[in-house]
Amino acid sequence: MINLISIQINGQDKVEDNLDKIEALMDQACASCEGEKLVVLPECCSLFGVSGQAMLAHAESPEKVSVQKVQEKVSVQKAPIQIRFSAMARRNQCYLVAGTTPMKPSLTETTVGKDKYFAASLVYGPDGSLVSRYDKIHLFDVEVADKTQSYLESKYTEAGSGLALFKTSFGEVAQSVCYDLRFADMFGAYAKFTENGQAPNVIVVPSAFTKVTGKAHWHTLLRARSIENQCFVVASNQVGKHADGRQTFGNSCIYSPWGDCLDIIEDEEGFVSVRVDNTDLSKIRAKMPVNSHKKERYQIERKST
């Protein structure tokens, strides 16, 4: 069994305040849970409601930091956000999907400009070590009927190039971030990379879905991904009004492999927690083996009339 936990915050423009808030909610959520825990934080959870230039200024070095390095002044200076997340995971003995953190390109990534960062979703294990990293692939370059109106994430964010899975005793977990949720093919592709050739047991979706798009599509998309992949979906969203006037939808929640919403927190800060096992997941996949019914390719035969 595993405890799936989704944390919802109203992220603002001060890193320390956001991290303190997250830490308090994590401690509270994990205190009542026994056994394995998977905690998911929202996108941009350490800093939100600021310009792309401000995010770039807070971008950290892509080091494999851990809580054991807290005493090393150089490491702390280079990666204070990563150090905090590592410590939170270790103290609560959980897998922590730490939303997204702006990350500088590595020295080998010479094609990435100095004026861009990766929106990296870092995952820490119960010992505080970094176990996975996913760089957001689909960037939010859209127009929305809200106060912001136009979003151009690609101006300062470099798109990632690959998917990311990590293992728990409960099964494999697939990573995604926010706008990725709209691209069903991305999630369907994960089955090609899992050890058993099935969809992952859990999909995590750290997000900052806007109030307008969230109201229109958030639950529809989450439910669709859970049904299509017959897996649990843990979605963590930002909520409320932020420093730049942007408004996010909240409604952080957990969906079952049958598409049921198991728990939800709507328009306030806090968390939801659900203890699950693989019994229902296994039964659903056995009775309706969607994955084995998929075709490798689909063709159209055009007939003349």
> What CATH code is carried by the domain that includes residue 271?
3.60.110.10
Q: How far apart are CA 34 and CA 193, in angstroms?
A: 30
Q: How far apart are CA 58 and CA 47, in angstroms?
A: 9
Q: Is 303 a member of any domain?
A: no
Site of tokens 């005793």 = 169
Site of tokens 């409601």 = 49
pLDDT band at 300 (very low <50, low <70, confident <90, very high): confident
Which among 37, 43, 104, 158 is annotated as catalytic?
43
The mean predicted confidence, pLDDT, of the chain is: 92
Q: What is the pLDDT of residues 126-183, one digit of tens each?
A: 999 999 999 999 999 998 888 777 789 999 999 999 999 999 999 999 999 999 999 9
Rounded to an integer, the average pLDDT of 34-44 is: 97
Q: Among this protein's residues, is 178 annotated catalytic?
A: yes
Q: End-to-end alpha-carbon separation of the chain, Å?
A: 57
pLDDT cut 70: percent of the chain above it: 92
Q: Is 39 a member of any domain?
A: yes
Q: Is 302 a member of any domain?
A: no
Q: How far apart are CA 45 and CA 144, in angstroms?
A: 22
- Sort strands 261-265 and 239-241 into parallel, antiparallel or unpaired: unpaired
At residue 71, the pLDDT reads: 46
- Give helix 80-92 / helix 15-31 axis angle, nearest 10°: 10
- The count of structural domains within the chain is 1
Range of the domain at 65: 2-293
Which among 30, 44, 178, 231 is annotated as catalytic?
178
- Smallest Cα–Cα separation from 43: which of 207, 188, 262? 207
Q: Is pLDDT of 289 > 60?
A: yes
Cβ–Cβ under 8 Å, residues 170 and 278 = yes
Q: How far apart are CA 42 and CA 44, in angstroms?
A: 6
- Residue 47's contacts (CB-CB under 8 Å, 6 or more residues apart) are 11, 13, 14, 15, 18, 54, 55, 58, 102
Q: How far apart are CA 150 and CA 5, in angstroms?
A: 32
Q: Among this protein's residues, is 136 annotated catalytic?
A: yes
- Sort strands 117-124 and 157-158 into parallel, antiparallel or unpaired: parallel
| pTM greater than the 0.85 cutoff | yes
At residue 74, the pLDDT reads: 47
Which among 37, 69, 136, 211 is annotated as catalytic?
136
Q: Is 299 a member of any domain?
A: no
Q: What is the pLDDT of residues 231-280, one digit of tens each?
A: 999 999 999 999 999 999 999 999 999 999 999 999 999 999 999 999 99
Q: What is the DSSP letter of 162?
A: -
